[in-house]
Every structure is written in C-alpha cells, then in structure tokens.
C-alpha cells in the first residue's frame, strides 16, 4: 500500500486510445484537509475555508454519483477536532446543520442515500435532528451512499467493537472462539458497507489521521497537494485514473 503523489501513474491517454472505461473504485473515502490553511493563504478567517469546503462537498458528491460510485465516505470531523477553538467548532456544527437542510433536494434528485458514522455524543441536538431527518428522507433512495464521518475516530470505533464483543462473551451470548474478522467487522460503525478501495487525502499530508484504520487495510492511497476548497472534479478524475492503473494483488502475485 504505497502513497502515490498526484499525477503519478496516470494513464488516461492510453484509456482513451483503447476506448475502455477505466475501472472505478467501488468505495471512495476522502480525508478533506486544508480548509483553514487555504483560507489563511487567502487572507481570510479559517471559517471561510470551511464554508468554501462545503461547496466542494457538493460538487464532488454530485460528480461521484454521476460516475456511478457505490459509496463516498467523507471525513467531516474527527474525535480529535474537538480540541479546536469553540467558535470554529460551533461554526462547523452550524455548517453541518445547514448542509443537511439545504442539500436535501440534491440528495433526492440524485437518489443518494445518507449515512453517518462516529459518536453522536457532543454533537448539538439541532444538528443531530437535521441529520436524522435527512437520513430518514433519503432512506429509500437507491443511488450512491454518502457516508459522513462526524466525531469519528478509528481507534475509538475499534475499542467500541471490542467492548461490544466482550460484553456478549461475558454474558454467555457469544463463544469467544467464534470471533473472527467478519464478526468483528459487523460491530464496527461501517457494518454492511464495503471497505474503501481508494483513500484520497488533500492538502499534501502523508498520514491517515485515525480514519478507517480497519477498513483501509487494502485501500489504494492517493495524495494531492491541492487543498480541499480547491479540489475539483478533474482532481477526482485524476485519482480514479491513477487507481485504474494500480496492480491490486491483495498480498498475492500479479497474474503476469
């Protein structure tokens, strides 16, 4: 699982010559990074970067849905982000609530399903209410699943899953010897979802930041220096072109 900078391994010209549509990932996960730094470079308050980032979420969600991606998971707020200034956190919660309300028409028009992973503790009631209402509204949609990771941390998720299995074993409802990778995955927030095939990180940071640690075991990773507010459809296409040229062996050998 190698970190590949943007622009490396892209072969879209060859795809065009062959006339074949490049293989698309089934599930794409994105660490949306660089909102605050982008704003500061523009001489703007950090919150303006978050506002601009919401517009990027809208564009990228629509583009992924048009391409037929099965699931798009966006890292909106990590469990560590609560260390940020309260004013910035309050603004983020307001933006999330506003997004949940204003984007309902888009989600319904694109037949997008909505899901959330992460702990609900600490998220304002009004934000959770708007989120829950939108999840319910989109529950019958049959298009792409948009999964928002909010107040999410992979280590906490794994600990919660282990705690759940331990409780069942202690109560005699579960034989510890029957616990395997599949049964553990069923206790994670992402139960029933496919593992990500492609993990994208913006703003050039070369780290995972406690995101989907269990689920990305075999994901391809693509990093771009472009900050999230400036991330466009063409950047997503570039990531997909790179993905299509990867040799995914899953621990085995290439057929060649």
Active site residues: 33, 81
d(CA 39, CA 113): 31
Phi, psi of 100 (to 5 degrees): -60, -35
Ordered strands of the 198-201 beta sheet:
3-5, 220-223, 198-201, 27-31, 71-78, 145-152, 113-117
Tokens of 140: 């019958």
CB 77 within 8 A of CB 57: no
Phi, psi of 66 (to 5 degrees): -65, -35
Three-state secondary structure string covering 75-123: EEEECCHHHCCHHHHHHHHHHHHHHHHHCHHHHHHCCCEEEEECCCCCC
CB 53 within 8 A of CB 32: yes
State the CB neighbour count (10 A cutoff) for residue 192.
9
CB 223 within 8 A of CB 55: no
* Residue written as token pair 């603004």: 91
Q: Are strands 27-31 and 198-201 parallel, antiparallel or unpaired?
A: parallel
> DSSP state, 173?
S
d(CA 209, CA 182): 24
């Amino acid at each position: 699982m190698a970190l590949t900078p943007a622009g490396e391994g892209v072969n879209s010209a060859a795809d065009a010559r062959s006339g074949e549509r490049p293989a698309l990932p089934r599930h794409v996960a994105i660490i949306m990074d660089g909102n605050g730094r982008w704003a500061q470079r523009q001489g703007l308050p950090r919150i303006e970067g978050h506002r601009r980032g919401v517009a990027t979420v809208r564009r990228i969600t629509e583009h992924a849905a048009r391409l037929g991606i099965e699931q798009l998971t966006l890292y909106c707020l990590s469990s560590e982000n609560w260390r940020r200034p309260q004013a910035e956190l309050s603004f983020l919660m307001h933006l999330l609530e506003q997004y949940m309300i204003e984007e309902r028409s888009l989600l319904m028009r694109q037949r997008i399903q909505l899901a959330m992973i992460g702990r609900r503790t600490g998220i304002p009631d009004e934000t959770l209410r708007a989120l829950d209402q939108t999840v319910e509204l989109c529950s019958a949609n049959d298009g792409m699943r948009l999964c928002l990771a909010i107040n999410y941390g992979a280590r906490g998720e794994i600990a919660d899953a282990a705690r759940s299995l331990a409780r069942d074993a202690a109560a005699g409802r579960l034989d510890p010897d029957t616990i395997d990778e599949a049964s553990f995955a069923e206790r994670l927030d992402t139960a029933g979802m496919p593992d990500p095939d492609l993990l994208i990180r913006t703003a050039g940071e070369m780290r995972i930041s406690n995101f989907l640690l269990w689920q990305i075991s075999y994901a391809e990773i693509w990093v771009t220096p472009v900050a999230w507010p400036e991330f466009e459809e063409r950047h997503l296409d570039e990531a997909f072109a790179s993905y299509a040229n990867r040799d995914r062996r899953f621990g085995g050998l290439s057929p060649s």
